[in-house]
Each structure stands twice: as structure tokens, then as C-alpha cells.
Amino acid sequence: MTVEQLEKQIVDAQRAYYNKSPIMSDIEFDALVDQLTELNPDSPVLKNIGTDHTDGFTKVKHDIIMGSQAKANTAEDMNGFFTRNGKGLYIAQYKCDGCSIALNYKDGKFSTGVTRGDGTEGDDITRNVLLMKGLVQEMNDPYTGTVRGEILLDKKDKEKYFPDMKNCRNAASGIMKHLDGTDCDKLTIRVYDAQFQDKTKSFMEQIKLQQWLKDQGFIVADYVCFDTTRMKNPGQSAIDLIRKEFDEENSSNREYDIDGLVFKKNEIDMHDIQTEMRPKTMIALKPKFTPVNTILRNIEWNVKNGTVTPVAVFDPVEIEGSTVQRAGMSNIGLLEYLGLEIGHEITVIKANMIIPKVIADVTTGKFLTGYEY
């Protein structure tokens, strides 16, 4: 694929995503960005994060750019990140799968809520933000600056109020832009960052910053400390951590959707955060694929050029933006290896970000080598 083709696909995908009609999964989009970065790292498209602007709302310029995150999904990617930033203490914070919001404060009092927009200018949705759960209208400290967070529809609220919505993120994206504020009281704000308006001031450490946010009364995105000082392979340890966070038990028990973990160096570099669209001292680690469990209902047989191959038919599931209920199996031996039988619980992914693939039989406990998520 040429540079021009990649740039067009990325721009089209960004436009569709912010119009709440995504044409590809996050993993597919990230793969395109990786290809373009390799072919033309200076492409202006890589500096464009898309826009969520909507008619009917006043446009407001951000004091500090609201960038995106550099992305990783392998141990090698993560080891490169840790090598560039040095051994030491990091935090690994949930990457909330919602809509970015800047909460502006003056002398400790909430003034405006502005969407990310294009990173430099966003939509003023203050009247809607005032209705949302998690907003702190008056802090304990006389703070002037911006608190960054995500607007989310929690899973229980989606099930209760919007069972027909496709997913929590798309629902939140639409609701937060209701011109009359309808249903905004069903949304929750979780925060993860704060920056002083006076650029000579700075929070020095991520751990202290997160505690300060809690002390002000905010709902803070969950995080754990991640110390690479004595780790021989911190990249693999990061992969092990995200596998744990995305296993079935943790995913089902989590109140809200996440689409990765953001690793942040504990020592805050304000110049990096204030000047880079994709800060170098933090990175979003996302699953290489998203495993989903379902029930095998039938095995059909496909005959082509004299070759018979099985096709697994299962209860429909949402995987990375689309509904799937069939997956071709490479051969009959695969059925025998996994021990697949009708009624078994199975795990399905999109191989190469596109093709549905059965990778495990949960009932038998067997999985394909290389897919131990």
C-alpha cells in the first residue's frame, strides 16, 4: 500500500470514528498508522488525531494540546519504550474506552467542560458536563488549570437504560452531545491527568498526581505501579499484565470498558506533555487481539476444489466493531485437537484483525499455541 493510500484510509477512518460510524477496529487503525509511520514518519496525517466537533456547540481553544497516545501491542514495542525512557517507576493506568474531556477550573471552581476536538480546539459542552456523575464542581484546593478525563457509560447503566445501543463508547459519544442534555446524567467522568494553567507550575510525579485527584473528590481511572528497575524483560511483564487485565474474569467484573493500559513514567515531563501530540513518556499498550467467549452451536462443512473444511457456527458476538457468528477451521484435525463439540464454550478472535478464528475450547481447556491470551 502506498503512502497516499495509507493516508487516505487513516483520514477516512478518523472521520467515520468521530461521526459514530466506525469503518474499522482500533487494531486495524493502529496497524495502518504503524505502516505509515514506517514509510513516512513525517506525514502530517500522523499529527492529526481526528476531530469530534459537532454543530450547535461553541468552539474553545485548549490551553494545552490534548494529544493522543503512542501505541504498542508487543513485548518488543514495550521494551523499546522502556529503553527510551529508562528503568525506574511507571504507572499502568486503565485506558478508558470513552470520550476525552477537558475540565477547566479557576481558583478551584469548575468553569468549562471541553471535548478533545482536534486536539487544539474542542466543543464547549459545559451544560451537559454539569449533569454527569463524577464532576467535582468545587475542589479542596484553589487550583487553576485543566483536569483531563473520559466520559463513559458504565456497563450497568447501558444494560439498564440503553440495552439496544451497540456498545458503551458509541452510546456515550452520542449522549454527551445531546443539545438538550437528555440522559447526560447517566454518564460518568473518570479522570487521569491534571495540568496547571501556569506552565511554570507542574505536578512532579504521576503517583502523587493521581492521589491529589482522588483527594479533590474525582473518580480516578484505576492504575497499578510498575517498577522496571529489576525486571530483565519489562516488555514481557507489561504483556503479562495486560493479559491478566483482559482475561474473562477481570473483564466481566470491571464496571466500565477499557481498550488497553497506558504506561506513564512516574517522573512527569511537562515539556513533553505540553508540546507533543503523542507524548514520548507515555504509551498505550493494547491487546494484539480481543478474545471473546461464546457457545458453539453447529459445525458446517465447506467443500471447495475437492477439499472439505469445517466451519464453526456459534452464538453471535461483537468483536472489534463487527458481529461474527461463523469461523472457518483449517482442517478436521483442529476440531480433534481442541476437542470441540456442540454446546462447548469457545474463544473467538479476529486473526490478522479481519478473519474470525476459533483459538480455544474453554470447556476442554485446550487452546492453539501462540494464542494464550
Q: Give the catalytic positions in this structure.
A: 95
**H-run or E-run covering 234:** helix 234-245
In eight-state DSSP terms, residue 124 is B
- Going from the C-alpha of 254 to that of each of 155, 156, 221, the distances in angstroms are 8, 10, 12
Dihedral, 157, 91, 52, 218 alpha carbons, nearest 10: 50
Backbone angles phi, psi at 202, to 5 degrees: -160, 145
Q: Which helix (H) or strand (E) holds 253?
A: helix 248-253
**Do residues 101 and 114 make contact, with C-beta atoms less than 8 angstroms apart?**
yes
Distance between CA 61 and CA 328 in Å, rounded? 50
Q: State the pairing for strand pair 89-96/99-106.
A: unpaired
- How far does the chain reach from its first CA to its final CA, in angstroms? 30
3-state secondary structure (DSSP) of residue 254: coil
Rounded-to-integer distance, Cα 224 and Cα 244, Å: 13
Only one residue has cell 449533569, namely 131
Cβ(313)–Cβ(299) below 8 Å: yes
Which candidate, 200, 330, 341, places its Cα nearest to that of 274?
200
User: How many residues appear in the chain?
Assistant: 373
